[in-house]
Amino acid sequence: MPARSNAVRHPRLRLAVLAGAIVWPLWWILGGAGPSMMDAIRLAMAGGITTIAPLALLLAADPDRRGRHLRAWTAACALWPVAAPMALYALTLPAGREAALFTAPWLVFTALTALFGLQRFGRRSHSPLAEVAVDAGLVYLLVGGIWALAAAAGGPLLGFEEPWLSLTAAHFHTAGLGVPLLAGLAVRAARPHPVIAVPVLCAVIAAPLVTALGIAGSPSLELAGSSLMSAAALGTGGLLVAIALRGGVPLAGRAPLLVAGLVPIATMALAFVYALAAWADPSSAPALPAMVRWHGLPNAILFVAGGLAALALRSAPRLGIAPGMPFSTLRGGRNVGRWYFRERDAIDPEAPVPTGTVADLEAYRRTAVDGLDDLVPDRLHAAVRRSYEHTADYVLQLRPTWSALVRPLASLYGALARAVGQLDLPTEPLATVDTELMQLRPDLDGRGPTRGWVRCYPGTDRPMYVAAYALHRDRGVPYMNIAFPLPLSCFHSILRLDPAPHGGLVLTTRRPPSGRVGDAGIYLATPFGPFRLPMHEELRVRVPVARTDDRAPLAVTQHVWLLGLRVLTLEYRLTPRATR
C-alpha cells in the first residue's frame, strides 16, 4: 500500500526554489558566465547551488507519521539561504583562501544533505529501489561539495587540478544529485513494471560515481560510467515522457516533462561518443569545452532542473510506508551491565513486579490485513500464551549453534559483548538462565508502558542481555518493540507476531510471503537517527508434546541472519517450574 503523499508544502523552501529559478538565469544574463569553458562550468555549478539543491530538498522531504522532519533536513533548509549566496559569490572570486572561506558553508550544507540521505535510507523498514535512488543522489552531493571547496581553494585534490576539480564538482551538483533523484521520483510517478524500473534505478545509482572515477583518469571506467549514465538517463527520460503523455500533470508541467525526457537522446549520445573516442583514440574525441556546452549545460538546465521542476508540480506518493517508528530513548554508557535499569532509576517503584514480558497477549490481537492472517490469542496453544504472560514461571534452557562461517569470530564477538555488558550470546549450552522482570518508568523510555527483562548467566552478574519490551501499532498491526541499550545508542528488534500451526507462534522481523511492508526489522538508534541493519531474526514457539494444558513445556527455535546468511540458531526449552 503506498504511503500518503510526500508532497511538502514548506513555504520557505518553495520560496528558495523560486528565488533560485530567478537567480540562475540572471547569473547568465548579468555576466556571471562568460564564453570560456570554465565560465560554462561555473554556470552549471550556479544552477546546482541555486535551483537543483533546493528542489532536491523539497522533493525528497520525508516527514514521519507525525509530520516531523529529520533534523538534518531542517538544518539544511535553514542553512541554504546563507550558504548558497556565499557559494555563488565564491564562484566570482579567483581560487584562494577567500574563495575557500566563502565555499566552506556550502560544504556544510552538502554534508547535512548527505546526512539527510543516509538517515532517510536508514530509518525505513524496507528500501524501495526508487527511494534508494533518491537517497543516493542526496549523498552524492557531498562529493560535489568536497570538490567545490578544493576548486575554490586552488587544489590540488588527489593529484587533480583544474579543470577537473570544477568539472567533478559540477558533475555531482547536477548529474550526481539530480539524475538519481529524477529517476527515483519518475518511478514514483510512473510506477513502471520492475523489468523497466530496476535496471534504470540500478544504473542511475551507480553511474555518477563510475563516471567521475573515469573522468579522474580511467578511460575504461569512463566508458562504463558513460554507458551506465546514458542508459539511465534515457530510461529516466522515457519515464518522464510517459508521465507527460499519461496525464495527471498540469499543462504547465507537461511541456517541461516532454523537453526533459527528450533532451538525453542528444546529450547522452554525445557523452557516449566522447567516452568511446577517449577510450579508443583520445585524439579523436570531441573537445572538452564542446562537451561542457553541448552535454553538461543542456543536461543541467533542461533535463535535471526542468524535470525536477515539472515533477514538483505533480504530487506523487512516497513508495513504501511513512517512517516514524517509536524508538526507545534509553542509552548506555561504556558498560550496560546487569544493573543498568537500577543504576538509572528506571524501575517504576509503584508498579507491581510483572510476571511476563507482556501483561496480556490480547494486546497483540489483529484482524486479517494486507495478506496477513488473523492473530487471535485465544486460538494459540494455552501454554504458548502463558509463556508470555507468566514468563517468570519458566525455567529456561538454551543450546546455541553458530554457523561454521562465523564460528571463528564468535570468541571475538563474545569478548566485545562482555566488555559492553550487553547482547552477550552464549557459545556453549546452558542448563539454566537467570532471569528478572521489572516494570519500567515510561517517561524514561518514550514508548509508553515498558517492561524490562534481564537474562544472566547462571549464578553470575554477567548479563546475556538487558532488554526493554514495549508495543506499538501501525496500520492495524501490533509489533513487539524490544530495545537493547548500547553505548550512546540502542539496538532494536521490532517483531511481528504471526500464528503458526498447532497453536504455535512466530515472531519475526522478516517480510511475510504476501510481501506486505511493515515496521518489522532490526535497527540501531543513534544520535544521528535510526538506521536499519542488514539483519533479521525469527523465533518459532511450539509445544513439542501432545498436551493441551497451559503447563506443557515449550520449545523455541530462534534464527539470526546477517547479510542474508544464517549465523546463529538458539534452541530454548521452557519448562514450568512446578512441573520440572
DSSP secondary structure string for all residues of 551-571:
T--EEEEEEEEETTEEEEEEE
Number of domains in the chain: 2
Whether 365 and 293 map to the same domain: the answer is no
- 323 is a domain residue: no
The answer to whether the beta carbons of residues 542 and 500 sit under 8 Å apart is: yes
Among the ranges given (142-151, 157-166, 214-223, 446-455), the one the predictor scored with the smallest mean pLDDT: 214-223
The pLDDT assigned to 36 comes to: 76
The pLDDT assigned to 471 comes to: 95
Whether 308 and 346 map to the same domain: the answer is no
Q: Which domain holds residue 530?
A: 340-579
Alpha-carbon gap, residue 523 to 521, rounded angstroms: 7
Alpha-carbon gap, residue 416 to 105, rounded angstroms: 39
Report how far apart the first and last C-alpha atoms of the chain are (Å, whole number). 48
Alpha-carbon gap, residue 32 to 27, rounded angstroms: 5
**Model pTM above 0.85:** no
What is the helix (H) or strand (E) element at residue 400, kind and residue range? Answer: strand 394-402
Residue 313 binned pLDDT confidence (cut-offs 50, 70, 90): confident
| 262-303: pLDDT as tens digits | 888 777 666 666 666 655 555 544 566 767 766 777 788 888
Q: Is 211 helix (H, G, I), strand (E, B) or coil?
A: helix
- Among 296, 312, 328, the domain boundary falls at 312
Whether 274 and 204 map to the same domain: the answer is yes
* Burial label, 510 (beta-carbon count in 10 A; 0-12, 13-18, 19+): middle
Q: Higher model confidence: residue 30 or residue 120? A: 120
- Among 271, 296, 312, the domain boundary falls at 312
CATH of the domain at 474: 2.40.128
Residue 20 pLDDT more than 80?
A: no
Whether 297 and 349 map to the same domain: the answer is no
- 434 is a domain residue: yes
351 CB contacts (<8 Å, ≥6 apart)? Answer: 439
Alpha-carbon gap, residue 89 to 49, rounded angstroms: 11
Give residue 503's identity as a one-letter amino acid code: G
- 472 is a domain residue: yes
Whether 450 and 564 map to the same domain: the answer is yes
Q: How far is CA 185 from the centre of its chain?
A: 16
Whether 444 and 307 map to the same domain: the answer is no
Q: Higher model confidence: residue 405 or residue 541? A: 541
* Burial label, 325 (beta-carbon count in 10 A; 0-12, 13-18, 19+): buried
- 466 is a domain residue: yes
The pLDDT mean for the chain works out to 85
Whether 304 and 356 map to the same domain: the answer is no
- 324 is a domain residue: no
255 CB contacts (<8 Å, ≥6 apart)? Answer: none
The pLDDT assigned to 219 comes to: 65
Whether 267 and 385 map to the same domain: the answer is no
Whether 307 and 360 map to the same domain: the answer is no
Alpha-carbon gap, residue 9 to 15, rounded angstroms: 10
- 505 is a domain residue: yes
Residue 463 pLDDT more than 90?
A: yes
Residue 67 pLDDT more than 80?
A: no
Give helix 37-47 / helix 164-171 axis angle, nearest 10°: 30
Annotate 439-448 with b (16+ C-beta within 10 A) or e (fewer).
bbbeebbebe
Q: What value does the mean pLDDT take over residues 43-56? A: 90
Alpha-carbon gap, residue 425 to 506, rounded angstroms: 21
The pLDDT assigned to 233 comes to: 83
The pLDDT assigned to 196 comes to: 85
Q: What value does the mean pLDDT take over residues 7-27? A: 68
- 217 is a domain residue: yes
List the grid coordinates of 216. Answer: 579522474
| 160-204: pLDDT as tens digits | 788 889 888 998 999 889 989 999 988 888 888 888 888 889 988
Number of H helices, E strands in the chain: 18, 12
Whether 428 and 497 map to the same domain: the answer is yes
- 334 is a domain residue: no
Most confident of the ranges 132-146, 199-213, 231-245, 291-305: 132-146
Residue 49 binned pLDDT confidence (cut-offs 50, 70, 90): very high
Whether 257 and 202 map to the same domain: the answer is yes
The pLDDT assigned to 325 comes to: 81
Among the ranges given (147-151, 302-306, 559-563), the one the predictor scored with the smallest mean pLDDT: 302-306
- Among 292, 312, 332, the domain boundary falls at 312
The pLDDT assigned to 163 comes to: 85
* Burial label, 515 (beta-carbon count in 10 A; 0-12, 13-18, 19+): exposed
Whether 391 and 252 map to the same domain: the answer is no
